[in-house]
Amino acid sequence: MRQQNLRVVNPELKVAPKKKEERPKALEQTDFFPELRYMGSKRRLLPWIHEILATLDFETALDPFSGSNSVSYLIKAMDRRVVSSDFLNLSATLGKALIENSSVHLDGPAMKRLLAEPANTHHFIEETFSGVFYTPEDLKFLDRVSCNIRQLDDSAQQALAMGALMRSCVKRQPRGVFTISGDLSKYDDGRRDLRLSIEEHFFEQVKVFNEAVFANGRRNKAGREDVFKVGTSGADLVYLDPPYVPRADDNCYIKRYHFLEGLSCYWQGLDIDFSTKVRKIPKRFTPFSYRREAVEAFERLFQHFKKQKIVLSYSSNGYPDLDQLTEILKKTKKDVRVFKRDHTYHFGTHSKVKRASVEEYLIVGQ
DNA sequence: ATCACCCCGTTTCCGGTCGT
DNA sequence: ACGACCGGAAACGGGGTGAT
C-alpha cells in the first residue's frame, strides 16, 4: 500500500467515487473482457459505442464481424440478446466462451483433465513450429492441452479453455502478431509476460476467462457464419464492423493471426504453407478486402440487413470513404446519422511519418 | 507529489512478386 | 509500367509504477 493512502481523508469529500457511480453498469462489466491484441479491436472505443447504442431501441443485436467479440460483450452487458458471428474460427470460439456461455466455468476436474498427460500425445505443434514460435516446452504444452481440450464433454468448457490457451499464446509473443518469428530476444524488454511460460500464462488466463463469464438473462448465440448467410429473423439491430481496405496496405487477419486460427481447431483440415517462415495457413477470401469489390460488398451487406437498424463502425483510413458509404446506406435507410470521433492510437508506429489523423465513425441507419 | 524507468501496442512500412 | 498483393518486421511514445 502506498504511503499516501495512510493519510486520513474524509471520504465524503472525495470526488472520485462519485464519478465511478455515474459509470454505466454495462461498462463496468466490460472491464472483465479479456482483450486479445487484435487488429481493429474496438475495446478502447467501447464507452463511445455504448453511449450511442444506449440511444437506440433494440432487443436483439447481430454482430456478424465479431472479431475479438468485445462489442458483442458490451451489448450482452447491456442486457440485450446477442448473436455473434465471424468467418474466423478463433472469433467463433471466443464467442462461444464469452457470449453464448452464461454459466459454465473451468472447474477443478476440468483443469485436471486439461493438464493430464494424454495416452496418445500428438506432436503436431511441436513438429511444425519448432524454431518458429516459442520454446520446445511451450510447444509440448500446447500439444498436450490441445489434445485434452477435445476430450472435454462440455463445449462451453472447450471454448473457455481454448480462449485461455489462445490468450496465453498472444501474451507469450513480444508483439501481438504472428508475423515475426525465430530469435525474438531483441524484443525482450524485460516485461513479465515474456518471462512466463505458456503453461504459467494458461493458469492465469483460465482465471481471467472464468471471471469474464456472465449471464444477462437471454439466450445468446455465437457461430461461424459468412456474413451473407447470417440469419436475420428476430433481430432488430446489427452492428457491422467489417474489415476495410486500407489506403496502401492489406487487412489480412490470417497473415497476422494464422497461429490462433490454426490452434483453435488444431489445424484440422487446414493446409500449412511450409514455404513461409511462420507456417501460415491459406488466406480466407472476403470481398471487403479488395478495392474492386468493396463497394458492391457494402451494397449487398446493407441489402442483407435491410430490416435491421444498422450501426456501422468505420474509420477515415478506409476505402470506400465516408461519403460513399453513407450514400450507399441511404439507398436502404431513410434516416442516416454519422457520429465522429478522433481516434488517437495509444501505441503504434512511425510518429515521424506523416499520416492522416484517423477519425472513427459510427454510422447509424434506420 | 514528483520523476525516472519500465512496459508494451498494432498500424504502417518495406521490399519483393504477380497480373494486366 | 503500374498497381495489387504478399511476407515479414519496425516503430517510439503514452501510460503505469514504484522509489524518493
CATH number of A20-365: 3.40.50.150
- Give the pLDDT score at A344: 53
Q: Which residues are within 8 A (CB) of A128 and not within 5 positions of it... i.e. 6 or more apart?
A: A267, A272, A279
- Give the pLDDT score at A343: 58
Using CA atoms, how far apart are residues A40 and A320, in angstroms rounded to an integer? 17
Q: Confirm whether any atom of chain B, the nucleic acid strand, is less than 7 Å from CB of A195.
A: no
Name the closest residue (CA) to the C1' of nucleotide C10.
A349
Stretches in chain A below the pLDDT threshold 70? 1-21, 190, 247-248, 342-358
Q: Confirm whether any atom of chain C, the nucleic acid strand, is less than 7 Å from CB of A278.
A: yes
Nucleotide nearest to A39 (CA to C1'): B10
3-state secondary structure A198-235: HHHHHHHHHHHHHHHCCCCCCCCEEECCCHHHCCCCCC
* Residue (of A321, A341, A353, A335) closest to A51 by Cα position: A341
Residues 18-47 of A with CB under 7 A from strand B: 37-41, 44
- Give the pLDDT score at A358: 65
Q: Where are the domains of chain A?
A: 20-365
Q: Confirm whether any atom of chain C, the nucleic acid strand, is less than 7 Å from CB of A272.
A: no
A15 CA to B11 C1' in angstroms comes to 37
